[in-house]
Structure 1
Amino acid sequence: MPIDNWTNHIAIAITVTDADGIITEMNPASIATFASDGGAELIGSDVLACHPEPSRTKLALMFQDHRPNHYTIRKKGQKKIIHQLPLVKDGVFGGYVEISIPIPDHLPHFDRD
């Protein structure tokens, strides 16, 4: 089921898993992004099964270590930055949220020290 809040109206893909790696939530942009892989039908499935090697092994280690991961990709001509962040409540690991944000090819950078 899609998340029923502001995330339904933003052009970024948000996917949430529980601590066991089961996909629990996808917003509409995430469902559209992964439509060819099953879209909303992915809810309830193991996120590791959705990734080929070597991504699967890296993701499995992230679930053990609860560490964040950040990288960029290009998919269907669109560059995106991916943030995979651990969800922690009251000191207890609860899973991950993956946020996929479309970005331009040339992104300005500003040092604000």
Structure 2
Amino acid sequence: MEPLCSWSTEVGFPVTICDKEGIIVGMNHKSIEYYSDEGGDTLLGKSLLDCHPEPSRSKLKDLLRNPRPNTYLTQSKEEKIFVHQTPWFVNGIYLGFVEILIRFPSPAEEY
């Protein structure tokens, strides 16, 4: 089964999908580009646990065992990144997580 849906393939933000063991099973074009310094498409088939230091690794393990959404904002000098990680299901069966990243310049306009 192809985990990326047609809408997510070419959207303007990174979409990364892992299975319930934390193995990366899908990356759209923007995800491959965003993670190019870490290996880009060579990350497919690799464990997310190997890509994250503590305490992120422990948080990820907990999310994989106890599926629930995780949303946060991170910031560098150049941009802020809204990160949303949520479990994905097919026919009610938990299959892993989808992560979307929304990047915006810092400072960003507020309305």
TM-score range, shorter chain: 0.7 to 0.9
Gaps of 5+ in 2: none
Identify the residue that residue 59 of structure 1 maps to in structure 2. Answer: 60
Amino acid at match of 1:54: P
Report the count of equivalent residues: 109
Q: Quick check: 61-70 or 97-106, which moved more?
A: 97-106
Amino acid at match of 2:26: E
Amino acid at match of 1:93: Y
Which whole-Å CA distance do the structure 1 matches of 2:18 and 2:109 have between them? 29
Q: Quick check: 33-42 or 89-98, which moved more?
A: 89-98
Which whole-Å CA distance do the structure 1 matches of 2:69 and 2:101 have between them? 14
2:37 matched to 1:36?
yes
Identify the residue that residue 82 of structure 2 maps to in structure 1. Answer: 81
Percent of aligned pairs with the same residue? 37
Q: What is the root-mean-square deviation in Å for CA atoms of aligned residues?
A: 2.2
Identify the residue that residue 17 of structure 2 maps to in structure 1. Answer: 16
With the length of structure 1 as denominator, give the TM-score of the two structures.
Answer: 0.84
**Deviating 4+ runs (over 4 angstroms):** none
SS in 2 for 1:96: strand
Q: Quick check: 56-65 or 99-108, which moved more?
A: 99-108
Amino acid at match of 1:15: T
Which whole-Å CA distance do the structure 1 matches of 2:76 and 2:100 have between them? 15
With the length of structure 2 as denominator, give the TM-score of the two structures.
Answer: 0.86
